[in-house]
Structure formats: C-alpha cells, structure tokens
C-alpha cells in the first residue's frame, strides 16, 4: 500500500482527500496540530499530532512511515485574520512549509501537492481567471500562499522536487455519505452560514453588497465541491508519479453563483426560508470571481462532477442535518 503524508488532514479539504485516498488504495498518514482540525475527521489512517515547526517530530514521521508523497493542507485560511495578524500567517503558513520541505529533503521525499488558492491572484483584471493572470495578492494570506509557490519553484530547480500547486476557488459541500463535512470555528463560508440560518442556528444571513454589477446585484463566486478537489489532488499525484512536469492549476467549475442564488438553493433543498439582512459592501470584495479550469481539465483529465449549486448545497445540508450543526 502506498503511503502519503497529509498535513492538515484533520481539516476540511484534507479529511475529504484522506477518504478519497483510502478508496483508491493509498494509506493516508495525517499530520495535524488539531488547532482548527478535528480528531473525529481522521478515520482512514494514523494521526500524528504535532506542529510543522517541530523538525524532530517530522523526521520521525518520515523515518517511520516513508511516505512517497506529501499533500500539504496545513495552514491558516482566514483573510481578515491575516490582515489583523500577518505574523501568524507568515510563521504558520510560510515558515511551517519551509520546515516541512526541509524534512522532505532529509527524508528523501521529493513530491508534494500543495493546497494553494485563488487569493494569490488578488483583484481580478479579467474573468474567468486563468493561470496566466497576474498574481498580486492583496492580503497576507494570499501572500503566504504565493511565497510557497515561489519557494516550490526554487526547490524544484535546486533539489529536483516535483510539485502541483492547486489554486482553489470556493471549496464547498460535504461528503455525500455524511461522514465528514465543513466545520470551521469561526465559520466564515457562505454555504454553511446559510445552512445554519435555515436550521435556526443563527438568526439571519447578511448579504454584503446588493449593488454589484451582476444580474441580481450580489457578488458571484465559483463554488467547487470538496470531493472534486480531492479527485484533482489524486490525479495530480498520479501524473507526478508518471514523470509529468510540475504544475500550477486552477480548480473551479468555471461557473459562478451569486449570494442570492446560494440562499435560494439552501431554501429549496431545506424547504425553509432564511431571513436575509442587506448590508453594505465589504472592502476588497470583487463582484465576480470565477475560474477558468480548462488547463486543469486538460492536464489532469478532470472535470467537476458537482456543477449545480443545489447538488453542492444538498451534500452540505445532509451533513449538517446528520450532525445537528457542530454537535458531532
């Protein structure tokens, strides 16, 4: 059985990848400090609890498990928090990754699939956004991810690393079987927030901006299902195993849904009305963020299975309903 190290494997996307890896015959070894991950999400392989800054522990992991590749999800992801405390993001995201890369060198593991982000692009100059779009992040979170991408370029040139940097748009949905789902504290993602409102776990949902130049006046985002993200990661690993060159790819559907469309989808799936409060725009929120996924589709022979927002929302509603929202 092929072993892979999954940093951040107790988190949202990482845990869904672990389930997908196990189904494909891999053994995922999870490395997570459980700061924002969940022990109960680690079901498909061993858990090593620790921080990426702990070089000794990382060396023990590489010596014991001898992973053939690393899937790197560990990192902080709140844009607003990164603006308030950039040091936290540069230390955890960037320096943590450097520690991991050095441990990989010592452990003779030279393949890494990195969880990057559309936030590396900054304000979109055109839409849909392809991989040729200028990368000019507007917050420390995006900066930290771009620094890592550039570092991976250098490690490839100097040390022969092979990597895939996969730039997510809006990760969404949950395991269709209802075993794992999206569980953040605090929660900032739109779909779970609307689900919470529909379930009565919060009083309302705020729409920040109703005067954008979109059909219904609300911001549009590209919601890509978490299982589709997991599938892309595995396909990227298989390509690297086959000797493919390193790659940087956008992961999205190529379609966008507005805030109002997401709310309507939750109402349709749940059969419940959601109280909406209209609020002013938030600074830095562009009206439209949609991926051009053609390069990923061609390179990985991959396409999103979940393209209808109602299908994505249905998986989220199923998981939250089973777990009574955070009452796992």
C-alpha to C-alpha distances, 154 to 52, 147, 159, nearest whole angstrom? 20, 11, 8
Structure tokens at 47: 């858990």
Alpha carbons within 13 A on the beta-carbon side of 195: 29
The pairs formed by 300-304 with CB atoms below 8 angstroms and a separation of 24 or more are: 300/232, 300/235, 300/236, 300/239, 300/249, 301/235, 302/228, 302/231, 302/232, 302/235, 304/224, 304/225, 304/228, 304/252, 304/253
Cα separation, 173 vs 91, in Å, equals: 29
Crossing angle of helices 309-323/190-199, nearest 10°? 50
Q: Is 141 a catalytic residue?
A: yes
> Whose CA is closest to 303, among 236, 251, 234, 262?
251
Cβ atoms 152, 246 nearer than 8 A: yes
DSSP class per residue in 108-167: T--EEEEEEEGGGS-S-SSSSB-TTS----SSHHHHHHHHHHHHHHHHHHHH--EEEEEE
Q: Phi and psi (nearest 5°) for 50?
A: 180, 175
Spatial neighbors of 186 by CB under 8 A, at least 6 apart, are: none
Containing 257, the helix (H) or strand (E) segment is: strand 257-258
Cα separation, 267 vs 199, in Å, equals: 10
Residue from 141, 155, 212, 325 carrying the catalytic annotation: 141
What residues are annotated to the active site?
Answer: 141
């Amino acid at each position: 059985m092929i072993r892979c190290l999954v940093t951040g494997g107790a988190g949202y996307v990482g845990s869904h990848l672990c389930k997908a890896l196990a189904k494909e015959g891999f053994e995922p070894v999870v490395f997570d400090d459980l700061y924002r991950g969940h022990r109960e999400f680690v079901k498909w392989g061993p858990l090593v609890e620790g921080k990426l800054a702990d070089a000794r522990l990382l060396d023990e992991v590489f010596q014991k498990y001898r992973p053939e590749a690393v899937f790197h999800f560990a990192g902080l992801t709140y844009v607003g928090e990164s603006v308030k405390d950039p040091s936290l993001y540069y230390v955890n995201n960037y320096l943590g990754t450097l520690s991991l890369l050095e441990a990989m060198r010592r452990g003779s593991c030279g393949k890494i699939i990195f969880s990057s982000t559309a936030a590396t692009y900054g304000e979109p100059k055109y839409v849909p956004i392809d991989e040729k779009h200028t990368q000019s992040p507007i917050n420390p979170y995006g900066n930290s991810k771009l620094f890592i991408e550039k570092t991976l370029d250098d490690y490839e040139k100097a040390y022969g690393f092979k990597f895939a940097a996969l730039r997510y748009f809006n990760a969404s949905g949950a395991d269709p079987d209802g075993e794992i789902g999206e569980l953040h504290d605090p929660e900032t993602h739109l779909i779970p927030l609307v689900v919470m409102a529909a379930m009565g776990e919060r009083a309302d949902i705020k729409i920040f901006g109703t005067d954008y130049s979109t059909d219904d006046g609300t911001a549009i985002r590209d919601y890509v299902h978490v299982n589709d993200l997991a599938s892309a990661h595995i396909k990227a690993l298989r390509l690297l195993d086959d000797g493919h060159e390193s790659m940087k790819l956008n992961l999205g559907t190529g379609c966008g849904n507005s805030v109002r469309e997401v709310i309507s989808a939750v109402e349709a799936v749940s059969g419940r009305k959601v109280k909406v409060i209209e609020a002013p725009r938030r600074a830095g929120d562009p009206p439209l963020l949609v991926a051009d996924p053609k390069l990923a589709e061609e390179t990985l022979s991959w396409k999103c299975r979940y393209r209808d927002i109602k299908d994505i929302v249905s998986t989220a509603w199923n998981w939250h309903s089973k777990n009574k929202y955070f009452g796992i």
